Amino acid sequence: MKKQLYLYFIIIPISIFSQQTRIDSLSILIEKSENNTGKAKLLIKRSKAYPPIKTTEPFNDAILALELSKKDNDLKTQIDAYNQLSGISTRKDDYQKAIDFDLLALSLSEKENYFLGIVNSYKNISRNQKFLGKIREAVANAEKAKEVAVANNITQEYASLNNNLGVAYRNNNQFQESITVFNEGISQTKNKKLLALLHMNKANTFTEIMRLDEAIDSHLLSLKINEELKDEKGKQQVYNNLGALFKKAKQYDKAISYYQKSLKIAQQNKIESAVAISYDNIATVYDLTKKNDSIIWFRKNAIAIYERLNDEKNSARSYHNLGNYFLLHNQLIDAERNLNIALQKRIKMNVPNDIASTKTMLGLLYDKQKQFEKAEFCLLQAKELLKDVSNDKKEDLLKALSDHYKLKGDLEKALIIKEAQLQLKDSLLHHTEIINVVNKENNYVVEHQKNEIKKLASIENKFNNNKILFGVLIILVFLLALYSFIRWKKSDFYKNKIQFEKQKIEIEKLVTEKIHQETLEELSTVRKLVIKDFIVLKNNNKIYLKELIYIKSDDHYLEVYSKDKKEFLRGSISEISAQLPPNFQQTHRSFIVNKNFIQSLSTSEIVLKGNIIIPLTRKFKGFF
């Protein structure tokens, strides 16, 4: 276990690096690109390089590519951008928006005689119409796509087109045509991802017509390829379809197991449509195994997702299944309401198999309500729709019709229909076929486990043979992580320190600016006082500063002494001090002297010219 963990910590960083390499390389080229068309083409390449579970980044790249190609009027690049936008919209389950992009691409392709663009547009339109339940239109457009490709020898698209056409044929009950074109597609490609898809879709057609032995072979081939590719979405689809196969084989535990595997991947990758399908399928098996817990929750949540995604085909299926649940539990009003919703949707989509299935359920419902005429009408309509097919839906219909005639008392008809039903049942599913299906799946699981054990043994051998190398690599990875952590911590420390110093400087700057402003104001005041050579007293007498010797304060009065006169006026020493220049200094709370007249000074007094003695207190001594 420890060895595996060591390998994990070595391999994971390399794997992540590899996934990003192509995107990073394209990003550098995009930055360096100087023309609109070149940049647009690179953006489309980068859009395609993202993993399928991502949609926002590739969608934005395709939109920007479209805008740039429009500036240069490059129609082919615009078509490629529209096709990419359609594909991304399909991945987001926004099928109508995808068709809107497809139609824009088709219009430009026809204008430019760009045949590959025409082929891709018809193929994409068909794919999205299938999701919206427009089956006949989907078949017609899939056939158009193939016709254009063959007429213009676009061989690289043959396999993909046959895959699309095979699905459309199956949905339209053209099962043999479906198998034929899937086989064509498998012979036409070496692309592993496309091969996995072709095998899976071929298996689904076999499952639909109850050829389960052949279906399991194709499904397991598809699963093996997806496991080799590490394609999670591909595995999720195969798991879901294996669940459907085992449900038809009445191997319900295996069906549940595969449906739950599918649901887990869908939830991890946030694939809403796949989550809804898994909910619906799990509920169906719970129905069949009488596990009533959570069935309604699964059904209603599936319906909510389908309706949000505008997925009419699967929405109809969920309403049908919910109606069937209520029918089994004799909740006939709820059953009729849900089955009628399903029928309306299915008639709108015009899928015969599905319409017949819902009419069969309504026939059973009306029989329970003793409305035998309505029941027979629905059942005979279903029989007409299924006259050319042999599948489990037809077997269900024949059983319902036999029971109906029995309820009416027409035992002869009931017996004839019952014999037809049993004959069909025997042709559809033999006990040996079920055993073959289970054995093949078990053999695959065992073989898969053996391969995993071999891989682990191989890794262990390599580890044992390269212990020193792995040890050095582990130490290097650890040292690199430690170095990165220390650098980050150091960088964070200096970043915080710089931020602190910056804030400190900002505060000091504000303080300095304030002091500077105050100093400027003081200097301005002093300058005015220095320039001005006199002051005007409150009694309007003018005193020249060069003649002013000292000022004495006596209560609320001032005595102003100049060379040749003495003035008395009302005021305070602080008021007159504010009018005087710097050469006038207070010596005592009651005295201000003109420094220019100082003759001598001591610790406690100042002698002015004319032997005038002025007291000097400690408070003001420092100014002299």
Alpha helices in 230-331 (DSSP H): 232-248, 252-268, 272-288, 295-308, 312-328
pLDDT band at 3 (very low <50, low <70, confident <90, very high): very low
Candidate from 37-41, 105-109, 266-270, 540-544 with smallest mean pLDDT? 540-544
**More confident: 609 or 183:** 183
Q: What percent of the chain has pLDDT over 70?
A: 88
Q: Say if residue 509's pLDDT is above 70.
A: yes
Place of tokens 């005639």: 405
Highest mean pLDDT range out of 292-301, 439-448, 465-474, 529-538? 292-301
pLDDT of residue 34: 83
Distance CA 82, CA 66 (A): 7
Q: Name 42's Cβ contacts closer than 8 Å, sequence gap at least 6.
A: 26, 29, 30, 33
Q: List residues bridging with 593 in a β-sheet.
A: 550, 585
pLDDT band at 17 (very low <50, low <70, confident <90, very high): very low
Q: Say if residue 575's pLDDT is above 70.
A: yes
**Over residues 545-549, mean pLDDT:** 87
Q: Which residues of 141-178 are buried (b: 16+ CB within 10 A; e: fewer)?
A: bbbbbbebbeeeebeebbbbbbbbbbbbbbbbbbbebb
Alpha helices in 93-134 (DSSP H): 95-112, 115-131
Q: What is the mean pLDDT of the chain?
A: 85
Q: Name 273's Cβ contacts closer than 8 Å, sequence gap at least 6.
A: 93, 305, 306, 309, 311, 314
Q: Please name which of 177, 275, 191 lies closest in space to residue 233, comparing C-alpha atoms.
A: 275
Q: Which helix (H) or strand (E) holds 401?
A: helix 392-408
For the record, the structure tokens of 290 come out as 């009488």
pLDDT digits (tens, 9 = 90+) for 126-167: 989 888 878 889 999 999 999 999 999 999 999 999 999 999
Q: Say if residue 9's pLDDT is above 70.
A: no
pLDDT band at 6 (very low <50, low <70, confident <90, very high): very low
pLDDT of residue 4: 44
pLDDT of residue 11: 43
Distance CA 509, CA 507 (A): 5
- Say if residues 199 and 218 touch (Cβ distance below 8 Å): yes
**More confident: 567 or 451:** 567
pLDDT band at 472 (very low <50, low <70, confident <90, very high): confident
**Over residues 319-334, mean pLDDT:** 93
Whether the model clears a pTM of 0.85, i.e. scores above it, the answer is no
Place of tokens 């689904």: 204
pLDDT of residue 366: 96
What are the backbone dihedrals phi and psi of residue 570, each rounded to the nearest 5 degrees, phi first? -85, 140
Q: Please name which of 315, 339, 313 lies closest in space to residue 327, comparing C-alpha atoms.
A: 339
Q: Please name which of 210, 290, 223 lies closest in space to residue 249, comparing C-alpha atoms.
A: 210
Q: In CATH, which of 3.90.1150.10, 3.90.1300.10, 3.10.20.80, 2.40.50.1020 is domain 534-621?
A: 2.40.50.1020
Largest CA-CA distance found in the chain, in angstroms, rounded: 155
Q: Say if residue 592's pLDDT is above 70.
A: yes
pLDDT digits (tens, 9 = 90+) for 406-432: 999 999 988 999 988 888 877 765 556
Q: Say if residue 530's pLDDT is above 80.
A: no
**Over residues 269-294, mean pLDDT:** 88
Place of tokens 């486990």: 449
pLDDT of residue 10: 43
For the record, the structure tokens of 253 come out as 């535990």
Distance CA 247, CA 216 (A): 13
For the record, the structure tokens of 485 come out as 């952590």
Q: Please name which of 294, 219, 321, 228 lies closest in space to residue 262, comparing C-alpha atoms.
A: 219
Rg value, the chain, Cα? 46
Give me the residue spans of the domains in the chain: 466-531, 534-621
**Over residues 299-326, mean pLDDT:** 91
pLDDT digits (tens, 9 = 90+) for 70-111: 999 999 999 999 999 999 998 887 889 999 999 999 999 999
pLDDT band at 438 (very low <50, low <70, confident <90, very high): low
Candidate from 17-26, 67-76, 206-215 with smallest mean pLDDT? 17-26
- Say if residues 342 and 305 touch (Cβ distance below 8 Å): no
